[in-house]
Amino acid sequence: MAARLQAIELERRIGAGDARALARAASLVEAQGEAGRQLIANLFPRTGRAAMVGVTGAPGAGKSTLVDQLAKVLRRAGQTVGIIAVDPSSPFTQGAILGDRIRMQDHHQDSGVFIRSMASRGKLGGIAKGTLEMALLMDAAGRDVVLIETVGVGQDEVEVARLADVTVVALTPGQGDDVQAIKAGIMEAADVFAINKADMPGAERLEQEIRAMQSLGSEEQRANAAPVRRVVATEGKGIEELWSVIRAVFEKQGRRGARAETWALRLREMLRDRLLGALPDELVEEHAKRVAARAEDPYEAVEALRLSLAGQG
Ligand SMILES: Nc1nc2c(ncn2[C@@H]2O[C@H](COP(=O)(O)OP(=O)(O)O)[C@@H](O)[C@H]2O)c(=O)[nH]1
Ligand SMILES: [Mg+2]
């Protein structure tokens, strides 16, 4: 009973925009337990207000710097911000994570910017388990804009980036990021292209290449081509303009979170997390060994795993 009263009080404070309550709630959501799920369920009716903006791109493209600068622009305009940074688990980018922390310290005195980083699911980056829940929490807490930084531009991440209302793809010149290397999926997933590090040679050429590629699309594709903007994130150059473009796209296409097709994607993702999360790794590995040794066929293994889940339900 006391726990229930505490939960009600926490929900009330989150709804009132209390940053400390939000921090407590974020820890509950990260723990991925029943308390976090209950909280999101109860807060859910309050969601659907925030603009969710995904920023994706290769490691080192300047996503964190961009997010930091976008937050500054938003704060100057009096908007409250939530930031979710999905930390890659790759050892190669540990330094970048440290860099993120240092840079983001600018906002630490400001309760109008709430930052949370989450470990990514796989070595390839992508979205972290619980990212959607964290975004919903920030939305329920009244954050005007939720910025979500995710690493990688593979197919998986593209799908996930679609979960945001607007997806900004950060590219940089001279990193093999020429249009040949930009997979078709990314061209489609990007709502806005941010060519970062425009202080380096090749930015203009990269922009021309993207525009040339866009010009090959159908008439409808051409009419809806993602805007391309050159920015220098480290200097804050072009960021206000970038934000106004993001805002315009958001106003044009509306909230993804208000569409059933978006929720179909999200529900699949949540179901997958829930089911896989409930399967003990050892059990999966045990069956994997048997299948590898031809002692069991893969269908038998999947059926055994399914029955194990059903047994838990
Ligand atoms: N020259 C230049 N360097 C930048 C720019 N934006 C970011 N960087 C640098 O690129 C590196 C990676 O930036 P970071 O934001 O951590 O990239 P992330 O891995 O995509 O989050 C850092 O050393 C930044 O200082 C830019 O506009 N110009
Ligand atoms: Mg980063």
pLDDT average per 10 residues of sequence, the chain (313 residues): 85 93 93 91 95 90 94 97 76 43 63 85 58 93 94 61 84 70 71 96 92 90 93 97 97 90 85 85 96 98 95 74
Which atom of ligand 1 is nearest the CA belonging to 59?
Answer: 19
253 and 199 in a single domain? The answer is yes
Q: How many whole angstroms from its chain centre is CA 216? A: 29
Residue 73: inside a domain: yes
Helix 131-140 vs helix 2-15: crossing angle, to nearest 10: 70
160 and 102 in a single domain? The answer is yes
Q: What is the pLDDT of residue 122?
A: 53
Instruction: Output the CA 232–ligand 1 centroid distance in Å.
Output: 9
Q: For residue 110, with 0-12 CB atoms within 10 Å meaning exposed, 13-18 middle and 19 or more buried, which class applies? A: middle
Task: Give the integer Cα–Cα distance in Å for 189 and 106.
Answer: 31
16 and 110 in a single domain? The answer is no
204 and 240 in a single domain? The answer is yes
69 and 218 in a single domain? The answer is yes
157 and 27 in a single domain? The answer is no
Q: What is the pLDDT of residue 276?
A: 85
Tokens of 115: 């930052």
Q: Which helix (H) or strand (E) holds 169?
A: strand 166-171
Tally of structural domains, the chain = 3
For ligand 1, say whether the CB of 227 is within 6 Å of any of its atoms: no
236 and 168 in a single domain? The answer is yes
> The tokens 């194990």 sit on which residue?
308
94 and 127 in a single domain? The answer is yes
Specify the pTM: 0.87
Least Cα distance to 160 among 254, 277, 273 occurs for 273
Tokens of 121: 């699911």
**In the Cβ-directed half-sphere of 83, how many Cα atoms lie within 13 Å?**
30
Task: Give the integer Cα–Cα distance in Å for 26 and 36.
Answer: 8
Q: What is the pLDDT of residue 81?
A: 97
Residue 172: inside a domain: yes
Nearest CA to ligand 1 atom 1: 197
161 and 209 in a single domain? The answer is yes
164 and 230 in a single domain? The answer is yes
Task: Give the integer Cα–Cα distance in Å for 313 and 311.
Answer: 5
Q: What is the pLDDT of residue 239?
A: 98
Q: What is the pLDDT of residue 123?
A: 44
Q: What is the pLDDT of residue 184?
A: 64
Residue 262: inside a domain: no
First to last CA, the chain: 25
Which atom of ligand 1 is nearest the CA belonging to 85?
Answer: 21
For ligand 1, say whether the CB of 233 is within 6 Å of any of its atoms: yes
Tokens of 180: 């040949």
Task: Give the integer Cα–Cα distance in Å for 53 and 96.
Answer: 21
For ligand 1, say whether the CB of 99 is within 6 Å of any of its atoms: yes
Task: Give the integer Cα–Cα distance in Å for 98 and 143.
Answer: 25
Angle (CA) 60 227 77, round 5°: 80
Tokens of 286: 């045990």
What range defines the domain where residue 8 resides?
A: 1-46
Task: Give the integer Cα–Cα distance in Å for 229 and 38.
Answer: 41
Nearest CA to ligand 1 atom 19: 60
9 and 69 in a single domain? The answer is no
Which atom of ligand 1 is nearest the CA belonging to 149?
Answer: 21
